[in-house]
Chains A and B, each alone.
Chain A
């Protein structure tokens, strides 16, 4: 079963069209294995992206280097998944 330990979900706030385009550049970098939960659309609309642990530093440096704001929406995806599974099995039990 795929493990998402260390994966984070970043909520990116692109302030203008240029920043939206910058984030779209990230989308094309397949080696980063980014999973856009909410894709880049228009300035002001939240962009949510799941970032595998190995890509985290590179992505954060890229965003900071271009002055693109972001917050960490989910600190550790696997922790939430574990909670979800526990809840399912607890109720089933």
Chain B
């Protein structure tokens, strides 16, 4: 086990236990900046942790970032670990990040689907969904990115429990989703919500369940364009951007359609790289470059959130 976050290896994939151990390392090393919250327990009883980065104040406006809601998308949890370390390294060094953290809090949930993630290590590397049991079906799990109360059950998700995009019996049926819903509602002051997936190099904003343009579409498109430009500037990784439904396909019950419906204007979904032929099996050697380029885009979104209070 790494003895410090400096000796932790960011260029390899880690188990759930190693990532949870990393969280504790970071909190222990930066008690003034980082704290660990438990927002709930997964279906199989694993704790669901969120890192809070705060320089003070009370219930400040905040930015939420989550990774790993689809458990097999390993480069996202690994990037989340890298982001956590980056924030502690750059606060006080990077003027942009310092300005952000002097006014806003950042919440980072690295393993958003702990049961699924543990299952990818123990039994099935290709597992995507939660691990909840569905009465009357031998198939397991719900797609946690179809389970939110925004267009729930509309076209763009499946009602078949054996499908990879099964939406579940009802909105927020998955405790992994409900835990975030409750946190967001209780906090009440989250101004940007960024949910990170892989793969296919996209930066998207609402809506996914309807062709209707989001009221803030023009601004979101502009922010996405700037963020993608920053991302591509590092290694030339090509990204497309736009609304979910126009960029990929109709998807209902998605995270950011719900957060946007809660008034969180800056709601975005990333689909990180694979630039080649690996898909979800992106080699560990690409973890750090992927995290580095994504960080540049995150900074743009966070800076825009800071400079455009609402």
Partner-B contacts on A (CB < 8 A):
1-2, 4, 9, 11, 30, 35-42, 45, 48, 50, 73-74, 77, 80-81, 83-84, 87-88, 91-92
- Residue pairs across A and B with Cβ atoms less than 8 A apart, 15 shown, are A2-B123, A2-B124, A4-B125, A11-B277, A35-B126, A37-B279, A45-B248, A73-B279, A74-B277, A81-B125, A81-B281, A84-B13, A84-B281, A87-B12, A92-B12
Main secondary structure of the interface of A (DSSP, over half): mixed
The 5 A-B pairs at the shortest CB distance, nearest first, are namely A2-B124, A91-B12, A80-B281, A41-B249, A73-B277
Least CB distance, A28 to chain B, in whole angstroms: 10
Which residues of B (144-167) have their CB < 8 Å from a CB of A?
Answer: 162, 164
Complex: A50 Cα to B162 Cα, angstroms? 16
Q: A37-B280, A74-B281, A87-B284 are in contact. Are A4 and B249 (CB under 8 A)?
A: no
A91 and B9 contact, CB distance less than 8 A: yes
* A80 contact set on B, CB distance < 8 A: 278, 281
B123 and A1 contact, CB distance less than 8 A: yes
A-B CB pair tally, cutoff 8 Å: 60
A2 and B281 contact, CB distance less than 8 A: no
Q: Within 8 Å of chain A (Cβ to Cβ): is B122?
A: yes
* B13 contact set on A, CB distance < 8 A: 84, 87-88
Q: A1-B123, A87-B284 are in contact. Are A39 and B277 (CB under 8 A)?
A: no
Q: Within 8 Å of chain A (Cβ to Cβ): is B232?
A: no
Least CB distance, B17 to chain A, in whole angstroms: 12
Q: Within 8 Å of chain A (Cβ to Cβ): is B200?
A: yes
A88 and B284 contact, CB distance less than 8 A: yes
Main secondary structure of the interface of B (DSSP, over half): loop
A74 and B278 contact, CB distance less than 8 A: yes
* B281 contact set on A, CB distance < 8 A: 74, 77, 80-81, 84
B284 and A2 contact, CB distance less than 8 A: no
Partner-A contacts on B (CB < 8 A):
9, 11-14, 122-126, 162, 164, 199-200, 248-249, 277-281, 283-284
* B9 contact set on A, CB distance < 8 A: 91
Least CB distance, B270 to chain A, in whole angstroms: 15
* A77 contact set on B, CB distance < 8 A: 126, 281
B278 and A4 contact, CB distance less than 8 A: no
* B283 contact set on A, CB distance < 8 A: 83-84, 87
Residue of A nearest to B271 (CB): A38
Complex: A9 Cα to B123 Cα, angstroms? 20
A38 and B200 contact, CB distance less than 8 A: yes
Q: A74-B277, A84-B281, A91-B9 are in contact. Are A1 and B122 (CB under 8 A)?
A: yes
* A48 contact set on B, CB distance < 8 A: 279
Complex: A75 Cα to B280 Cα, angstroms? 14
Residue of A nearest to B124 (CB): A2
**Given A38-B200, A74-B278, 6 additional A-B pairs, CB 8 A:** A2-B123, A30-B162, A41-B248, A50-B126, A84-B281, A87-B284
Q: Which of A2, A9, A36, A40 has the most C-beta atoms of chain B within 10 angstroms of its own C-beta?
A: A2
Complex: A63 Cα to B193 Cα, angstroms? 40
Complex: A84 Cα to B280 Cα, angstroms? 11
Complex: A88 Cα to B200 Cα, angstroms? 24
Least CB distance, A40 to chain B, in whole angstroms: 8
Complex: A2 Cα to B123 Cα, angstroms? 6
Complex: A19 Cα to B13 Cα, angstroms? 37
Least CB distance, A52 to chain B, in whole angstroms: 11
* B125 contact set on A, CB distance < 8 A: 2, 4, 81, 84
A74 and B279 contact, CB distance less than 8 A: yes
Least CB distance, A64 to chain B, in whole angstroms: 21
* A73 contact set on B, CB distance < 8 A: 277, 279
* B248 contact set on A, CB distance < 8 A: 39, 41, 45
Least CB distance, A42 to chain B, in whole angstroms: 8
